[in-house]
Amino acid sequence: MFDLEETVMGIIINAGQSRSLCYEALLCAKQGQFSEADDLLKQATEAANAAHAVQTKLIEADQGTGEIAVTLVLVHAQDHLMTSMLAKELVVELIDIYRRQAA
């Protein structure tokens, strides 16, 4: 099947990358570099999509049967994913505010 720990690390790594890129985008927007911010947000979305794809793979493998062990690292990965999703939503809103202020 697959190595659960290695698979879960795919969520953690990609979600963390997404969150980091979001905050880099926010910094660019604060400096008025909106094109760069948009590029970073696009990269953040790609990383988030990769994390979500891993999550989907786990959900499909489990099929509601409870066969996938719920480990601390899996819970940690879910925390990373949800936190990165929230960060992206907030950063997008903040960048919009900076963009409107600059106009």
Candidates 59, 71, 75, 76; catalytic one: 76
The dihedral built from the CA positions of residue 73, 75, 81 and 83, taken in this order, carries a sign that is negative
**Active site includes 80?**
no
- Taking Cα atoms as reference points, which of 30, 58, 25 lies closest to residue 41? 25
SS (H, E, C) 37-67: HHHHHHHHHHHHHHHHHHHHHHHHHHCCCCC
Q: For residues 81 and 21, what is the distance between their CA atoms, to the nearest angstrom?
A: 14
The residues carrying an active-site annotation are 76
